Structure 1
């Protein structure tokens, strides 16, 4: 026993000596090590870029609002989070959110007493496995079965607990950034010393001071809660975004995201080894997002959208649009390609519910009918199938073996022959079919035989493509489609000759409204196919918000020059003039004759059918027509080009809705833009 006690004494003496040596010799060094601080750089959000219309009016801006923020320190524990959540819930209420069942469970177990109690309920056999995942699942199942009920204060605490738990270390998040009252701000401010990491800051949200009708073009921004889109998560993370950053998710907000987001402010934070923040210093104040100046005029855009809604509503009321699924209108400066107004309506025919859908102008395609005949005649002239002085063709219907007669709207025999301008004026399908057959060198014997080369579709489509029909225009908006191309050959590889003829007068392939306005602009400006665009310039908004410093201006882009001669172009323009101002009783747009300034253009109707998604194999679906009109004004020096499409109208009640819309668009434009 004496030997053992002696050994113990020696060991204790050695330990005490070592402790004394460390305390005296290295105490100050260890103390400095404990107090040593580390530094880290953190970033914060900046206001998103503002969008203006062509007159400098704010279309979409940022509305500042107070917010309760939280910055998570390195040393924050689960107990700290639970404590802060409960304290803060005494001063604020979150009413626009409700905690999920899982969030309630997490908050409930955040209390150590509850966690210990629930752990004790887990069967010993499960605890003996030492499988943390299995034990946690069992605990959560137990709590779920207990149906925990929280008070309003505890529900707020649960939401705060969830937000803080999911925050990154040294990142700042918003705990409440909407409907924050002055009383809540005051009470939180008074108790900030008891709420480590909590602060009072400023957040922003998108505002639309000139109305939200244009929002379907501008697009939307994700919420902080939604954060980065999951389908592009890796792209955003590699470009410096945080998971809860707000980004543009559609249209202009998405297309110009790299410019609109700005550059985040950065601060350097020093923390002690204990994890507490010791000092914060601003390194870079950040730069607000770039400002976009659009080509659209907010007032004109609103007038066009209102006119479209009113005229389309009258079409519904009359029964003409009973099966219609929408209407679209677009206006463009034919000399530059700048879009002046983009309006659209989507409709559910069964529920008779309509919604704004301006982007249908670029992502909806329709068979446009006779409105495309200007491109067909142009192609015939350019390829010397007809000439300005020799363009008369017989107006005899086309009889294909085994198919109904292919003719124009007017009675057979109304005209013996037509020249190109008159064919456009009276909208002759027969003229276009004969022009197509001559063009592709078809062999045709009425009622007996027709043979077309396998390249016939390619020949006509190449010509339509030259005017932008059937291919993307390149407009600076995401989601544009190129249209819909019909089949060229049957299942045996034989060319669909009858469909070639249908294509010649616009009753086969489908085009978008923006392609139609680009096409008619090309005729209006003398042959320059201009790229449409919405963003005119990019710049920076002054700190007072009253001035924009421009850094970049969009230059008009000529995509293609149509190889017309002046006399060839004059044939088409004369036809478009006579469509509105001609004297032939079969003219299709005489109701626009008295509009000032004068309009030239081309109307169209294309046969279609009502498709019922609930009965896709419906027999004998209702026959409908797509009504269209493309035009420009003034006729001799166009400043505006328009395209209007009313798809799916009753052919007996079609009326003149597209002409009414065109008239409103032209008159409203010149009323707002008097020189």
Structure 2
């Protein structure tokens, strides 16, 4: 036996000593990643809209192989030096903490049945569930002070190996920093760090555009967890959860720091070297001038409050407005005020511009006229039509707002000026090869909806614009057959003057921009450029710039577009008693546009389909300025107003938006301007 022992020692020490020593001293290398500040957001003038606030933080990096008992002891030690915010601890949290003690675990095991005890060797997971169930039925009482280490233990045990979590990231006092720093050597894994939180120097008004970032506690959104993890995120990483923060996550997140650590044979960190200190996220520079945005928001608030005070906005959804550079697609302002018609509280809802749709009424008539000219049923030089009402059986007379017989006939420009519904319906009848006899059933081509919507689509009406924000909707297209399965002729006529399909306001802005710039449908965008971050946190060199994108060229000739532009000029500057937007003819330089008034219905309780329906009026406006050299195009909607003749709230908003843009962008008055000029180039 002694000879065998000597032989074994010789084998271990002489023949394999160096190899076994190396195995004992072996270390594994791995990389720990650290968070960096997100990129900032600036307006078009370089004003900071979103910044980062640095906070002192207490962090914990979980070592390899650390036991629950060790983490419990560490939590108890750390609780002597810091006070963490109380959360809603669950019975399971208390049970996990209690069972982290070997003595407690053994004591609980003795209380279990023989069958449950046997699970400890055959099914450890099920065995632990039995332990937890027992503890939850016999939980000891913990004081608030005793709950502090439980709060800390919960965060620690929720981390993964070699990941860093924040034990306390807000409200860390200087005393806590000093005491934790003094005892770091006795608390392996605990460290002092920095946490970053989003701040909004201009307030929360634009957060519905910019979006929000998840907290370290909430971490990655559950619905996209797998995707984020596959792209190198940790479960507790902060990410953009909505709108620009979400759409530009890859730009704003930055590059994490990388520290290579060596893990010894006893699972302790024996060495660490920072390989990359990290790079703060790049910055977004928006197209929006926050000062002009604030003016538009203030105008919406003021005018909608007037409507509420007048008692006509009790069931109104709110008021919305958007301004766009028609030549590039740059968004100049995007604002909304949404009213809860149950509580009558009003909140900011800028995103309603892209994700809420409304029946806009006559504001779309420019597209109707251009579509008819493309179809060949009228031409720039031959476009007079009779202005006599349409009489169909079983339905009220289909006419314009002015009395029957006011006009014998109208040309296209004049029809836009006085907002003739009859003119637009007669265009649809020509496009659909109508067989019409007054007071008899009328037939139209079965594809009339397809025909008209094809022309509307050229301008972006009824389809997504491609704006760089998630959540855009395409609007609503009414049915093309009725309950009897036949073509709803009356609805096709309604579509021609904007009283059938529903569009988003951003689509209306894209549509009017296409007319203002002589036929180019531009893609709207909010991010003008992306820039790097300098060492002092300010915006650095430009990394990329958004180039204006033409989505399509409208298939209308310049002569055809000029007819519509002339009509829109007359909408503001016409002298006929039925001219619809003369309230804007005081603006200098002169503007052009088109009003809309849609007869709509809404429910007193929108969530209850059995609630009372109320007849309402939706007011809208689209326009561009200066008319002869457009630099801004706007779209406005104030939906679901009550009363026989609501005031021109749409024009009040539009007038102020144009006036503020003129004053803030040094648009000089035209010394030769007259409100009675006959052409937009006059």
Does the 8 Å CA contact 1:261/1:288 hold for their aligned counterparts? yes
Could you say which residue in structure 2 is the equivalent of 1:441? Answer: 433
Does the 8 Å CA contact 2:413/2:567 hold for their aligned counterparts? yes
SS for the counterpart of 1:187 is: helix
CA gap of 1:125–1:234, structure 2 versus 1, over 3 A, is closer
Does the 8 Å CA contact 2:32/2:260 hold for their aligned counterparts? yes
SS for the counterpart of 1:444 is: coil
SS for the counterpart of 1:216 is: helix
Give the Å deviation of 1:563.
3.5
In the alignment, structure 1 residue 248 sits paired with structure 2 residue 240: yes
In the alignment, structure 1 residue 127 sits paired with structure 2 residue 117: yes
| Structure 2 counterparts to residues 480-519 of structure 1, below 5 A | 480-519=472-511
Rounded Cα–Cα distance in structure 1 between residues aligned with 2:631 and 2:593: 14
Rounded Cα–Cα distance in structure 2 between residues aligned with 1:390 and 1:125: 96
Rounded Cα–Cα distance in structure 2 between residues aligned with 1:462 and 1:305: 34
Does the 8 Å CA contact 1:122/1:135 hold for their aligned counterparts? no
User: Of the candidates 549, 556, 566, which is equivalent to residue 558 of structure 2?
Assistant: 566
Could you say which residue in structure 2 is the equivalent of 1:67? Answer: 57
Give the Å deviation of 1:533.
0.6
Rounded Cα–Cα distance in structure 1 between residues aligned with 2:302 and 2:136: 54
What's the CA shift string for 1:237-265, capped at 9, x where partnerless? Answer: 22121222211111111111112112212
Q: Indicate the RMSD between aligned Cα atoms, in angstroms.
A: 1.9
Could you say which residue in structure 2 is the equivalent of 1:146? Answer: 138
Give the Å deviation of 1:653.
5.2
| Structure 2 counterparts to residues 253-652 of structure 1, below 5 A | 253-611=245-603, 612-618=605-611, 621-652=613-644
Give the Å deviation of 1:451.
0.6
State the TM-score, normalized to the length of structure 1: 0.94
Give the Å deviation of 1:28.
6.3
In the alignment, structure 1 residue 85 sits paired with structure 2 residue 75: yes
User: Of the candidates 34, 41, 55, which is equivalent to residue 31 of structure 2?
Assistant: 41
What's the CA shift string for 1:167-215, capped at 9, x where partnerless? Answer: 1212222111111111111110111111111100111111111222111
CA gap of 1:626–1:566, structure 2 versus 1, over 3 A, is same
Rounded Cα–Cα distance in structure 1 between residues aligned with 2:539 and 2:472: 33
CA gap of 1:477–1:257, structure 2 versus 1, over 3 A, is same
Rounded Cα–Cα distance in structure 1 between residues aligned with 2:538 and 2:280: 15
In the alignment, structure 1 residue 55 sits paired with structure 2 residue 28: no
SS for the counterpart of 1:270 is: strand
CA gap of 1:563–1:129, structure 2 versus 1, over 3 A, is closer
Rounded Cα–Cα distance in structure 1 between residues aligned with 2:563 and 2:544: 40
Rounded Cα–Cα distance in structure 1 between residues aligned with 2:85 and 2:539: 38
CA gap of 1:288–1:129, structure 2 versus 1, over 3 A, is closer
SS for the counterpart of 1:411 is: coil
Does the 8 Å CA contact 2:36/2:281 hold for their aligned counterparts? yes
Deviates more, 1:574-583 or 1:106-115: 106-115
Rounded Cα–Cα distance in structure 2 between residues aligned with 1:27 and 1:559: 74
User: Of the candidates 95, 103, 107, which is equivalent to residue 113 of structure 1?
Assistant: 103
Rounded Cα–Cα distance in structure 2 between residues aligned with 1:215 and 1:83: 43
What's the CA shift string for 1:626-668, capped at 9, x where partnerless? Answer: 1111111111111111111111111425211111111221122
CA gap of 1:126–1:563, structure 2 versus 1, over 3 A, is closer
User: Of the candidates 160, 167, 179, which is equivalent to residue 168 of structure 1?
Assistant: 160
| Structure 2 counterparts to residues 185-200 of structure 1, below 5 A | 185-200=177-192
What's the CA shift string for 1:79-118, capped at 9, x where partnerless? Answer: 2101110000111111253423321221122223322222
Rounded Cα–Cα distance in structure 2 between residues aligned with 1:223 and 1:409: 54
Rounded Cα–Cα distance in structure 2 between residues aligned with 1:393 and 1:355: 46
Rounded Cα–Cα distance in structure 1 between residues aligned with 2:272 and 2:173: 28
Give the Å deviation of 1:27.
5.8
Deviates more, 1:107-116 or 1:498-507: 107-116
Does the 8 Å CA contact 1:472/1:481 hold for their aligned counterparts? yes
Give the Å deviation of 1:590.
1.7
CA gap of 1:26–1:510, structure 2 versus 1, over 3 A, is same
Give the Å deviation of 1:148.
3.4
Rounded Cα–Cα distance in structure 1 between residues aligned with 2:100 and 2:645: 68
Unaligned runs of 5+ in 2: 668-682
What's the CA shift string for 1:558-605, capped at 9, x where partnerless? Answer: 122223333322221121112122111112222222123322111111
SS for the counterpart of 2:305 is: helix
Deviates more, 1:246-255 or 1:120-129: 120-129
Give the Å deviation of 1:33.
2.9
Could you say which residue in structure 2 is the equivalent of 1:220? Answer: 212
Rounded Cα–Cα distance in structure 1 between residues aligned with 2:63 and 2:288: 47
Rounded Cα–Cα distance in structure 1 between residues aligned with 2:468 and 2:389: 43
Could you say which residue in structure 1 is the equivalent of 2:90? Answer: 100
Deviates more, 1:222-231 or 1:371-380: 222-231
Unaligned runs of 5+ in 1: 1-10
Does the 8 Å CA contact 1:362/1:514 hold for their aligned counterparts? yes
